[in-house]
Amino acid sequence: MNLDILSYGFMQRALLTGIVVSITCSMIGLFLVLKRYSLFGDALSHVAFGGIALGYFFNIYPIWTAFAVSVSTALGITKLRKSTKISGDAAIAVLLSSGFAMGVLLISASHGFTIDLFSFLFGSILLTSMQDALLIVAVSCGVIVTLIAIRKPLIHFTFDEEQAKVHGIPIEKLNYLFVALAAVTVIATMRLVGILLISALIVLPNITSIMMGKGFKKTMMISISLSVSAVIAGITISYYFNLAPAGTIVMLMVAMFVGTLIAKHVGMFSTKILNENNLSATN
């Protein structure tokens, strides 16, 4: 194999957007996983599906409508959760079904754009246009910079909301900002792996890195490394073996997760995971 892969414009765009998006997903995903919002990304992507269908229906650039619908729905459901005390999983179920239902409804109401919609459902990183690539990179960089800026209060807030509030962190505003960033990330990721596989990119690298028993910073760096490696390898393998990039990327991430799980099982990592609180571990 040689590196002729990089001589194609579509591959350059695919790799660039893939790398940026995978970094964003890993960063926001760690907070989502730790807040037990793992399926929030999945739910938001279904809402985004409705937003894309809306864009096609009204002949507007679909990414814009997806942004508008996802961000406003994410903020709305957060407000609703707070005022009605709806549980997190129930809120996710409402988001997931209502967003997808809107998409299906709009598809049935019009004809002729289903092929394009399928590219959003299953991902089409190799077909990313320059316009999409620039938008995805710009948005992802914005999310990364914002996350770096708010990392300290966000870590505290994710660890313990009440303690964060006593510490003077404006947790409500922070929560709204966080869900808005999550919504934006999901839209940026749609082109890479498609609506149906977004949660894999958000969850898999993070639960894999959490198992390695490191501190917060190292866990995030490991997650980013795993995610970027899987995206580069996935796109390359899919190019040479004519496979679907989205499926290849996600299956590589699954392989990393399973490999880490086995390594942990044989004692390569020292920390305990998926157990209840280990109060009597050491004294």
Give residues in contact with another protein (CB under 8 A). 34-36, 152, 155-156, 158-160, 162-163, 165-168, 209-210, 213-219, 271-283
Yes or no: say if 25 and 185 are a contact pair by the CB < 8 Å rule.
yes
CA distance 212 to 263: 9
Pick 97 or 163: Cβ nearer another protein? 163
Helix (H) and strand (E) counts in the chain: 12, 0
Pick 168 or 267: Cβ nearer another protein? 168
Distance between start and end Cα atoms, the chain: 55
CA distances from 57 to 38, 67, 71, 117, 127 (A): 30, 15, 19, 11, 22
Tell me which H or E stretch contains 28: helix 9-34
Pick 75 or 214: Cβ nearer another protein? 214
Output the smallest distance, CB 223 to another protein, in A: 10
Closest CA to 113 of 68, 52, 67: 52
Pick 215 or 267: Cβ nearer another protein? 215
Question: In sequence order, what are the residues at sequence separation of 6 or more whose Cβ sits closer than 8 angstroms to the Cβ of residue 147?
Answer: 27, 28, 154, 181
Q: Return the DSSP state at 195.
A: G
Output the smallest distance, CB 209 to another protein, in A: 8
Output the smallest distance, CB 88 to another protein, in A: 13
Pick 237 or 261: Cβ nearer another protein? 261
Pick 17 or 158: Cβ nearer another protein? 158
Pick 109 or 166: Cβ nearer another protein? 166
DSSP states along 131-194:
HHHHHHHHHHHHHHHHHHHTHHHHHHHHH-HHHHHHTT--HHHHHHHHHHHHHHHHHHHHHHH-
Output the smallest distance, CB 206 to another protein, in A: 9
Output the smallest distance, CB 96 to another protein, in A: 23
Output the smallest distance, CB 147 to another protein, in A: 16
Output the smallest distance, CB 174 to another protein, in A: 14
